[in-house]
A = this chain, B = another copy of it.
């Protein structure tokens, strides 16, 4: 029951570059915004203008997965969005655990942007006895000791790390040991993880630090 197993499509025999995968959510985002404003067809030209990229790149990216457009017309917005969501695995709900219930962790748990996209924060952890048992946006904060059991019980595949930098590596080790395969890391370090586990960092400071190069 693979999402796509179309071995008649030569592109699928090739591994899709990671940069391409990272752009697909951008396409999804624009498509969803366009359909909300009443359009139902979009060309690679229009898509490219929105995202400040070339139409050719968009067409090439999409061609890794199939033929979604109609010549002379463009792409059916609703259909393309649905297809991309399926490719990305967004046609379902993902249970997520957040570890670290300090200021940042509480902001993450309360952030209203995850749920509408299918990322459901189903448990919250901390190692501090003063925080364990507290209610954060409807979740009871659990001890990190119960991490592995909860991850298994709720079939959690994604972890979000919001602990202070000093604890981040060991929390990430625990997530890996618990079987988590995708980690969103808010701590300002590059953690070590075994291959097969993917980490993406969220660090606004890094973004600022590279932009200053261009205005200094």
Contacts and interface: CB of A to CB of B under 8 A. Distances in A.
Interface stretch (A26-34, A55-63, A66-74, A123-131): A26-34
B204 A89 contact: no
B213 A24 contact: yes
State the number of copies, please. Answer: 2
A170 to B, nearest CB: 15
A30 B190 CA distance: 8
Interface in A163-216: 181-182, 184, 188-190, 192, 198, 200, 202, 204-216
Contact of A117 (B158, B190, B209): B209
Nearest to A85: B209
A3 interface: yes
Contacts of A108: 204
Given A25-B206, A205-B119, A214 B188 contact: no
The winner among A90, A117, A157, A209 for most chain B CB atoms within 10 A is: A209
Contacts of A30: 190
Contacts of A96: 208
Contacts of A207: 184, 200, 202
Contacts of A110: 103
Given A89-B212, A89-B216, A208-B158, A26 B202 contact: no
Contacts of A5: none
A139 interface: no
Nearest to A24: B210
Contacts of A90: 209, 212
Contacts of A33: 189
Interface in A91-140: 94, 96, 103-104, 107-108, 110-111, 113-114, 117, 119
Interface of A: 3, 21-22, 24-26, 28-30, 33, 50-52, 87-90, 94, 96, 103-104, 107-108, 110-111, 113-114, 117, 119, 157-158, 160, 181-182, 184, 188-190, 192, 198, 200, 202, 204-216
11 contacts: A21-B214, A25-B210, A29-B206, A88-B209, A104-B111, A108-B204, A119-B205, A119-B208, A181-B215, A184-B211, A202-B207
